[in-house]
Structure 1
Amino acid sequence: MERDVPLSQLVAQLTSDESPFALQQDSDGVFAYRNAPISLPQVIETARRDDDACFMVYQQDRWSFQRFYRELDTLSHWMVAQGIKQGSVVAIACRNRPEWAIAFCAAARIGAIPAPLNSFGRKEELQAALEDIQPALLVCDKDRFVRIEGDTSVEGCRIIVVDDKNNNDDLAMAYQTIIEQVDTTVESLPMPDVSSEDSALILFTSGTTSRAKAVVSSQKAVCQSLFNIDFISALSGMSSPEKVKKIMEKGMSPVILSAVPLFHVSGLHAQFLTALRNGTRLVFMHKWDTNAAYELMKTEQVTQFNCAPSMLLQLFREPHPDKQAMIQQLIGLGFGGAGVPESLMEHVFKVMPDQMIGIGFGMTESNGVASAVSGDLFRQHRDSSGVISPIMQVKIVDPIGQELPPNEVGEIWLKGVSVMKEYLGNPQGTAEVLRDGWLASGDLGYRNEDNFLFIVGRLKELINRNGEKVSPQEVESCLQRNSAVKEAAVFGIEDEMTGEAVIAVVSLAQHEHITEAQLKHFVSEHLASYKVPSQIHVLERELPRSPAGKLLRKEIKREFSVKTDAILAAS
C-alpha cells in the first residue's frame, strides 16, 4: 500500500464487507466488527494449543502452551467442583505471573467473571474492592494474602495462594496442591452458554472519590476491544510498508516484555490476551527494574515493549552495556495516550527510526478503545493520540453538553460497543458518566478533520504517577485521619521521572507536632505506595481559604510547586 493513500481510504478498505474487519451497525447506530469473537470462552478455546512452544516466562520458570492449558483445565474443573459457576465472581490479586493468567482464563472459561484487583492496594483498599464485588474465590500471592491477613471479609469466599506450597488450611489452599491433586488427564469443560451481553469482566478504575469503582464489561465489549487491536495493527502495517518490510527482514519471532500491570486494560487486553490469541511469547517482570528489563530483553530476544513514558525515560538513562543493541532489537514500542513529554518523543523517533512506535488513548470504561495509531501515521501526527476507532463514536462537547466542531477543545465523550455496562453497585456513579449512551471521559481534547484525536488535559483532578491514577481527595482524606492534621491539600506537579509527583500540604492541629517522614509512613499504612506523596509540606499555619471558606487550591499549588521543584531538583 502506498504511503500517500488517504487515511479514510485505508480505513474504508479495511472495514469493507469483504474484509476481516467488516462492520455491522445496530439499531442504536453503534458499530461492531462482524467477525470478532463473541465471548472470552471462545477466545480462550480458539487460541488453544497443545505443544511445547514457550508461552510465558517468569523468573526462572518457563511455561509451554501445553502446560498453560493443562493447568487452566485443571483449575477450571476444580472451580466447578467448588460450586463456582457462570456469573460467579473470581477476584485476582497478585503480581504479573503465569498463575495470574491461568486463574483469569480458568474463571472466564467456565463463564465466571474474573475481577483483577489493583495489587498495589493496602489492606483497606483490597478489602473494600472485595466487599464491592463479593467474589466466590480470591486467587492471590503470599504478599497479598499477608496484606489482608488471610481475611477477605466476604462470607463463603475461598482463597487460593499461588506461591506458597505450604498454605493449606481452613483459610486458604495452595495453587500447587490443586494442580497436583486434580486429575491431570482432565479434558476441557463444555463451552458455557454465555451471551454477548453477559458480564465478562470487572476491572477497577480510580476516580475522584475515595473508593475505586468496579467497571463491569460485557462479553461483546471485551471481545470487540481485542479485535480492535487487530484492526490497529492492520491499519498501521498498511500505512507503514517500508517499516514492515524491514521488520520482516529481521526474521525475529515476536516476544513481549510485560511490565504493565495485568489489572489494567493495557496489560490485560493489549498484552496478555493479545499474546494468547496470537501465540506470542510473554515475558513477565517480577517488578519494574531497568537493569532487569535490559537483561530480559537480551536473554529472551524481546521485540515488543509497551510502557509508561517514565519507564522508557529510565531505560534510556540506564547505563547498561547492551542498551543500544537492545533498543534497536525492539520492533514495536507503545505508550499511553497522554502525558508523553515532547522531548522524550523526539528522542524516541531519533534513536528508533525503523521501529513501529505507537500510541493509544482509552479508558477502563471503554475497554481501552478510543484512538490509537502506530508506525508512519504516528510519526506524521506525533502530537496526536491516534486515529479514532471505527467502532467508537467520539464527540467533543462544551460545558453544557453541546457538540463542538473539529479543532475546538472540549470534553471527550465516547459511544461504542466496547463501553462498560455499569459501575457495579453504583447507579449514581454510572449515571454521572453514562449519558444517553455516551461515556463522559473527563478528559479534554479535540479531533481534527482527518479523525485524529488530541488530548490536551483533563477535567478530573487525577494525578498520573507512573501510569497509575491517584485521587487527591483520597490522599487528603487519609492524611486528615491523622489526629495531628487539621486539613490537607494534595496536587500533582510535573516530574520527569514519574510523569507527575504527588505533593501534599498539611496544616497541623493546634498543639500538635508531626514530621514529614511520620506522615508518609502513616499514609503508607493505609494506601498503596504509589499514592504516598513524594513531598509533604507541614505547616503550623492554616491553609488559605476563600471568603466562602473553600480551600484556595490553585494558590496552594502555585506556592508550593516552586518549593517542591527546588526540593526535587536537589534530591
Structure 2
Amino acid sequence: MKLEQWRKAWQQLIGPGSPYEVVTSPNVNLRYFRHAPPNLLDAIDAGRVHGDREFLVWEQERLTFAGFFDQVDRLAAQLSQRFAVKQGDRVAIAMRNQPAWLVAFVAVQRCGAVCVPLNSWGLRDELFHGLQDSGAQVLVCDEQRLRLLAGDVLNDGLVSIVVGVQEGQTLAPNCQRFEALIKAPVLALPAITIDPDDPALILYTSGTTSRAKGVLSSHRAICQALTALEFQSAFCAVSSPERIQAVIDSGLAPTNLMAVPLFHVSGLHAQFLLALRSGRRLLLMYKWDVDKAFDLIRDERCTQFNGAPVMMQQLLGSPRFDSTDSDSLYGLGLGGALAPSRLLAQISKRKPKAIGGSGYGLTESNGIGAAVGGDQFVYKPDSVGWPLPIVDVCIGPDPYSPLPAGQSGLIWLRSPTLMSAYWRLPEASAQTLQDGWLDTGDIGLLDDEGFLYITDRAKDLINRAGEKISASEVESCICEMPGVVEAAAFAVADEELGERLVLVLRSELDPAPTREQVCAFIGQRLAAYKVPAEVHGFHEPLPRNASGKLIKAQIRELLVSA
C-alpha cells in the first residue's frame, strides 16, 4: 500500500547520514535536524553559489543571484559603517513586494541585526505601532509608506532609507535614497559571530482581533524551519515520483510566481528564502491581480504558484486557467487560511498531474506544523498532512491530556521552530508558550493514519444553547452552494440562547440567494442547530488580512453600519 511506502520513504529521509537526519536533544526531548545551518546568515549565503543565474523578476527589473548579493553587500556596509547598525539592533522594512525588500532583509542579517518586517497593507497606526514597539533604529521603506509615516519619522528623527525616490528629489535630512546607497563602494564589514539562539526576526501577527504582537524568533528556529520546508519538498519528490518527472520532462526552469506579502512567513520563509537557497527564480507581484498573474505565468513560464485560498479561488475561477496560459504550472500550493473543500477538490480535478499541496503553521512556529503535497494531497486533500518530523502535535485541553485519534480539540505544537517570545509581552508569552508547547488557538484532530485536520479557531466556535457550532464548517458548507464566493460565520449575543449564529456571504449571482434558500441549503447538509439565525449578503469582497484570513471584527462593523 502507498501509505507504507510513504512511511518508509519518510524514515529513510530522516535516518542517519541523510541531509535531513533527525536527532533528539537529550536535555529537552526535542527533535531537530542535525544538519540545519547554525544561523540565518549561513543559510542565506548558500545562495551565492548560483552566481549569474537569474533570481528576481519584478516589473522591468531583473537581477541575477550575483547581482542581488552585490546590492546586499553594499547596503549592509552602509548600514554598518554609515548608520552604525550593529548586532541586536532592530531594522524595520515597510514596503510592498519588490527586490529592494529582499535586498534589505539580507543586508540586515549581514549586520547581525534583527529584521522587523512591517505590514505594508496596514494603515499609519499599525505601521507606527510596529516602529515604536520594536524600537527600530532604521527604517527601509517605499515612498507610499514614508508618506503615511512622514510626521512620525521626522519627529523621531528616525534614519529612513527610501526606495524609488528619483535622483534630485528633495528628502528630509534623516532620509537617504536606497538607490544611491547600493551604488556606493563596498566597504568592509566588521567580523561578527552569530549564536544560534541570537534574535533574528520580529514578525508582527496578523492582528485580526487586537493589536498585533511582535513574534521574536531566533536564528536556530528559522534555520530549523527552512530545513523542515526543504525536507517536505524532498519527501514530496520521493513519494510522488511521476509528478516530479513531469516537471523535469517539461525542461522548464523552476520559477515561482510570488504574490503573497513578504512580511508573512509563507512569503518570507517558504518562498523567498527557499528560492534563494535552492536557486529558484522568483517573479514578484507588487500586488495581487489575477489577470496580471496569468500574463506573468504565460510570459515567464512560471512553474509554481503558492497563495492564499482566495487567490487560488480567483485563479481557478478565471477562464484563462483552462487555456494555454497556465500550461507551465506544475505546482499549486495553499497556505495562510483554511481552504473550502470545493477549492481543494478543484485543484486535483483541474490539474490532475500537478503537485498540489497545503500545510499548517503559524507565525509563532515560523510557519512549521504539518504539510501535504503531491500524491498525499490527492489521497487526503482536506487534511494538512503529517506533522513534520521535528514537530510534536498534541490534541487536547493541555499537552498532557491527549485525546484519542479522530477526536477534535485544541492543537498544541512543540518544535525547535517555535518563537522565543512575544516581543516585550511576558504575560502573553507565558499564556501561549507553556513548558515548551505552543497553544495554537486552533481546533483540529489527528486521524488514525496520523494526518492532521484543522477544523476551526477556538474563538470561532459558536455556543448556541450549549451546542458548539464550528464557524468554518458552516462557511465551508455554504461555499459549496452555486454562486457563493465567500462567507463568514460568527456569533452574536442572544438573551435566550447565549449566542446565535450569523452568516455573511458574497455571491456572484444576481439576484443573490435569499435567506430561505441559504438556510434550506445548509439545513439539508448540517444539523438543524447549525442553520444560521441571520443571513446577510454583501456585494463587495469581504475584508481579509494580508495572509488571506477573514477579518471578522471588520465584517461585524460593516454589518452594523449597513
TM-score by length of 1: 0.81
Q: Deviations over 1:36-84 (max 9, x none)?
A: 1011111122221474322111111111222211110110000111110
Q: Which residue of 1 aligns with 2:179?
A: 176
Inter-partner Cα distance in structure 1 for 2:115 and 2:541: 40
Q: Which residue of 1 aligns with 2:537?
A: 564
Gaps of 5+ in 1: 463-490, 506-542
Inter-partner Cα distance in structure 1 for 2:485 and 2:443: 18
Q: Say whether the 8 Å CA contact 1:204–1:215 is kept in structure 2.
A: yes
Change (3 A) 1:12 1:498: farther
Q: Say whether the 8 Å CA contact 2:422–2:429 is kept in structure 1.
A: yes
Q: Deviations over 1:111-142 (max 9, x none)?
A: 10111011111011111111110101111111
Aligned residues: 499
Q: Say whether the 8 Å CA contact 1:385–1:455 is kept in structure 2.
A: yes
Q: Deviations over 1:178-198 (max 9, x none)?
A: 123x21x546x3652110001
Q: Which residue of 2 aligns with 1:508?
A: none
2:384 equivalent to 1:398: no
Inter-partner Cα distance in structure 1 for 2:221 and 2:295: 37
Q: Which residue of 2 aligns with 1:267?
A: 267
The 5-angstrom pairing of residues 505-544 of structure 1 reads none
Counterpart residue type for residue 238 of structure 1: V
3-state SS of the aligned residue for 1:562?
strand
Counterpart residue type for residue 34 of structure 2: R
Q: Which residue of 2 aligns with 1:42?
A: 42
3-state SS of the aligned residue for 1:564?
strand
Inter-partner Cα distance in structure 1 for 2:129 and 2:336: 29
Inter-partner Cα distance in structure 2 for 1:161 and 1:495: 43
Q: Which residue of 2 aligns with 1:285?
A: 285
TM-fit CA distance, 1:200: 0.8
Counterpart residue type for residue 368 of structure 2: V
Q: Which residue of 2 aligns with 1:135?
A: 136
Inter-partner Cα distance in structure 2 for 1:422 and 1:316: 39
Q: Say whether the 8 Å CA contact 1:309–1:499 is kept in structure 2.
A: no
Q: Say whether the 8 Å CA contact 1:396–1:409 is kept in structure 2.
A: yes
Inter-partner Cα distance in structure 2 for 1:256 and 1:160: 28
Counterpart residue type for residue 349 of structure 1: S
3-state SS of the aligned residue for 1:148?
helix
Inter-partner Cα distance in structure 2 for 1:88 and 1:498: 48
The 5-angstrom pairing of residues 210-221 of structure 1 reads 210-221=210-221
Q: Deviations over 1:279-302 (max 9, x none)?
A: 111101121111100111111110
The 5-angstrom pairing of residues 82-231 of structure 1 reads 82-152=83-153, 155=156, 157-165=158-166, 166-180=169-183, 182-183=184-185, 185-186=186-187, 189=189, 192-207=192-207, 209-231=209-231
Change (3 A) 1:138 1:218: same
Q: Deviations over 1:118-172 (max 9, x none)?
A: 1111011111111110101111111111111252488453111111132533141
3-state SS of the aligned residue for 2:332?
strand
3-state SS of the aligned residue for 2:268?
helix
Gaps of 5+ in 2: 462-474, 505-530, 543-562
Change (3 A) 1:125 1:337: closer
Inter-partner Cα distance in structure 1 for 2:460 and 2:489: 13
3-state SS of the aligned residue for 2:42?
helix
Change (3 A) 1:498 1:58: farther
The 5-angstrom pairing of residues 103-502 of structure 1 reads 103-152=104-153, 155=156, 157-165=158-166, 166-180=169-183, 182-183=184-185, 185-186=186-187, 189=189, 192-207=192-207, 209-320=209-320, 323-336=322-335, 338-398=337-397, 402-461=401-460
Q: Say whether the 8 Å CA contact 1:8–1:450 is kept in structure 2.
A: no
Q: Which residue of 2 aligns with 1:471?
A: none
Q: Say whether the 8 Å CA contact 1:337–1:359 is kept in structure 2.
A: no
Instruction: Work out the percentage of aligned pairs sharing the same amino acid.
Output: 38
Inter-partner Cα distance in structure 1 for 2:5 and 2:253: 31
TM-score by length of 2: 0.82
What value does the CA root-mean-square deviation take over the aligned residues?
3.0
